Amino acid sequence: MSIPDPFDAAARGLAVFAIPPGGNRPAEPGWQQRATSDPAVLRRIWRPGDNIGVGCWRSGVVGLDLDDNGVDSLAALCATHGQPWPKTLAVATPSGGQHRHLYYRCPPGRIVLSSSGRHSPLGPGIDVRGPGRGGRGGYLVGPGSLRAGGRYEIVDPRPIAVLPRWLADVITANRATAKENRG
């Protein structure tokens, strides 16, 4: 069982911000700009028990939030495009079952917006948490964070891979339907 470790997240190249203990939402506005991977800043601001928020914009990451049937949707996308499952850092969420957060580096020159629900270009059960533009990217609750249902646990510790081009193409092809949001 892991505990929230902002220094481990920062060592993985993730810019983090504090989420109140037990929570999954930022406590106040401005988290996009406050997210940091600077250990000196983290030592100064982090409080025991805080959960980790991973700011996609500052981190330069695209997070795929696989819910309910998201694993099946991603497997179907891979099959349709004749591509393997894109392996990367994976975190199990306390929702249980196959719920996962998959972390990918945003390919250079790509603008990936956050989208969810019926606005997700990847299909049912896959929310996209993108860096967005102008500091309006999404976020993921980071590894070790504790919620009422359990912890966010790393299940595949491999380094964060670059989002495969074919998958970035699918996400950005439907940019008109992707709703930029703050989450």
Contact 140, 63 (CB under 8 A): yes
pLDDT tens profile 129-160: 999 987 789 999 999 999 988 999 999 999 99
Query: Given this model, what pLDDT does residue 174 score?
Result: 62
Query: Given this model, what pLDDT does residue 122 score?
Result: 92
Q: Give the pair of three-digit tokens for residue 11.
A: 């060592």
Which stretch of DSSP H or E encloses residue 31?
helix 31-34
User: pTM for the complete prediction?
Assistant: 0.90
pLDDT tens profile 5-58: 899 999 999 999 999 999 999 988 889 989 999 999 999 989 989 999 999 999
| C-alpha separations of 147 from 104, 142, 152 in Å | 24, 11, 8
Query: Given this model, what pLDDT does residue 175 score?
Result: 57
Spell out the residues 6+ positions from residue 142 whose beta carbon is closer than 8 angstroms to its own.
4, 6, 9, 14, 16, 51, 52, 53, 54, 91, 152
- Model confidence at 179: pLDDT above 50: no
Residue 116 binned pLDDT confidence (cut-offs 50, 70, 90): confident
Contact 62, 130 (CB under 8 A): yes
Q: Give the pair of three-digit tokens for residue 61.
A: 């990451």
Q: What's the distance, Cα to Cα, between the start and end of the chain in Å?
A: 26
**Residue ranges per structural domain of the chain:** 6-173
